[in-house]
């Protein structure tokens, strides 16, 4: 299981060698610390849902919850084999999971293309099994879809972003794009970590500075002033931004 388009490769643990996990979910938070929405209840009918691995999930979750139209974000583990893993187990590399942010959004306000745009721009998807100073399979780049129509859009956006990266001298994208991967919520202290008092201002994301434009099937809905709130030329710009959602 490697990146969709190839690139740097480091083998993941096999299903047979993965830790067994547990039958019961690990304890997590009940409500979103910033948005106030439930992390455990069913999402509203018709809302979009997809999970993204962008390296350490602390900073990427904050980037996503600030997008207008986002109903819920939650940190967790996905793309591996172990049921209900703990953070320590995932970091050991013996579960096959990556750190992800589950994003739920109102499609009347924000399009899947907007969410994909933030995903590609907020990290470097060419770094294989790591991001910045964080190395390991749990920091790989990934898109974990929940509906059939999301896969072709994710792949089209990947191809468009690869063209930008190639033209600017970057390597091949190693992002994996998969469906049918169960999401396991992370521990309560990881949920909306950067918004909580006493949190350590840490983010290892390494944006390339390339801005995703149009691609086949794109359903952009957000105004241009939203994207001015994300300046990827500033190191760790997510840490510098306000915790509250962007207001139009």
Q: Is the pLDDT of residue 234 over 90?
A: no
Based on the number of CB atoms within 10 Å of its own CB, is 42 exposed (0-12), middle (13-18) or buried (19 or more)?
exposed
Which pLDDT band, with edges at 50, 70 and 90, does 236 fall under?
confident
Q: Is the pLDDT of residue 90 over 70?
A: yes
Helices (H), 101-223: 112-121, 150-167
Q: Is the pLDDT of residue 79 over 60?
A: yes
- Judge whether 140 and 174 are in contact, CB under 8 Å: yes
Full residue range of the structural domain in which residue 97 is found = 45-231
Asked if residue 182 is part of any domain, the answer here is yes
Based on the number of CB atoms within 10 Å of its own CB, is 88 exposed (0-12), middle (13-18) or buried (19 or more)?
exposed
Asked if residue 217 is part of any domain, the answer here is yes
Please state the domain count of the chain. Answer: 1
The pLDDT mean for the chain works out to 93
144 vs 2, residue with greater confidence:
144
Asked if residue 26 is part of any domain, the answer here is no
The pTM (predicted TM-score) of the whole model is: 0.94
Asked if residue 241 is part of any domain, the answer here is no
Place of tokens 């794009």: 177
pLDDT tens digits for range 192-215: 999 999 999 999 999 999 999 999
Q: Is the pLDDT of residue 170 over 80?
A: yes
| Mean pLDDT calculated for residue range 1-30 | 75
Helices (H), the chain: 57-65, 87-91, 112-121, 150-167, 224-227, 237-240
Asked if residue 40 is part of any domain, the answer here is no
**Contacts of 11 by beta carbon, 8 Å cutoff, 6+ apart:** none
Please, which residues bridge with residue 178 across strands?
A: 144
pLDDT tens digits for range 96-118: 999 999 999 999 999 999 999 99
Asked if residue 38 is part of any domain, the answer here is no
- DSSP one-letter code for 11: P
CATH number of the domain bearing residue 62: 3.30.1060.10
Asked if residue 239 is part of any domain, the answer here is no
Q: Is the pLDDT of residue 7 over 80?
A: no
Asked if residue 195 is part of any domain, the answer here is yes
Q: Comparing C-alpha atoms, which of 182, 114, 180, 109 is closest to residue 147?
A: 180
Which pLDDT band, with edges at 50, 70 and 90, does 2 fall under?
very low
| Mean pLDDT calculated for residue range 131-142 | 96
Which pLDDT band, with edges at 50, 70 and 90, does 237 fall under?
confident
Cα–Cα distance between 171 and 242 in angstroms, integer?
32
Cα–Cα distance between 204 and 194 in angstroms, integer?
13
**Start-to-end C-alpha separation, the chain:** 40
Tokens of 74: 């939650």
Residues recognised as catalytic: 56
pLDDT tens digits for range 35-76: 999 999 999 999 999 999 999 999 999 999 999 999 999 999
């Amino acid at each position: 299981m490697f990146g969709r388009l190839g690139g740097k490769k480091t083998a993941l643990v096999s299903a047979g060698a993965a830790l067994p996990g547990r039958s019961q979910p690990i304890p997590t938070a009940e409500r979103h610390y910033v948005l106030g929405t439930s992390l455990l209840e069913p999402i509203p009918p018709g809302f979009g849902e997809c999970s993204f691995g962008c390296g350490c999930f602390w900073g990427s979750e904050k980037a996503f919850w600030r997008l207008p139209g986002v109903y819920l974000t939650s940190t967790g583990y996905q793309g591996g084999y172990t049921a209900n893993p703990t953070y320590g187990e995932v970091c050991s590399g013996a579960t096959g999971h990556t750190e992800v942010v589950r994003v739920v959004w109102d499609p009347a306000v924000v399009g899947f293309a907007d969410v994909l745009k933030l995903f590609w721009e907020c990290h470097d998807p060419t770094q294989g099994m790591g991001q910045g100073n964080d190395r390991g399979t749990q920091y790989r780049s990934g898109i974990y879809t929940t509906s059939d129509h999301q896969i072709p859009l994710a792949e089209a956006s990947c191809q468009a972003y690869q063209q930008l990266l190639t033209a600017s001298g970057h390597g091949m994208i190693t992002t994996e794009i998969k469906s049918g991967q169960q999401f396991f919520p992370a521990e309560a202290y990881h949920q909306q970590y950067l918004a909580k008092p006493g949190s350590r201002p840490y983010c290892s994301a390494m944006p390339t500075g390339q801005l995703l434009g149009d691609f086949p099937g794109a359903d952009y809905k957000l105004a241009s002033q939203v994207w001015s709130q994300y300046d990827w030329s500033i190191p760790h710009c997510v840490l510098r931004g306000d915790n509250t959602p962007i207001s139009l």
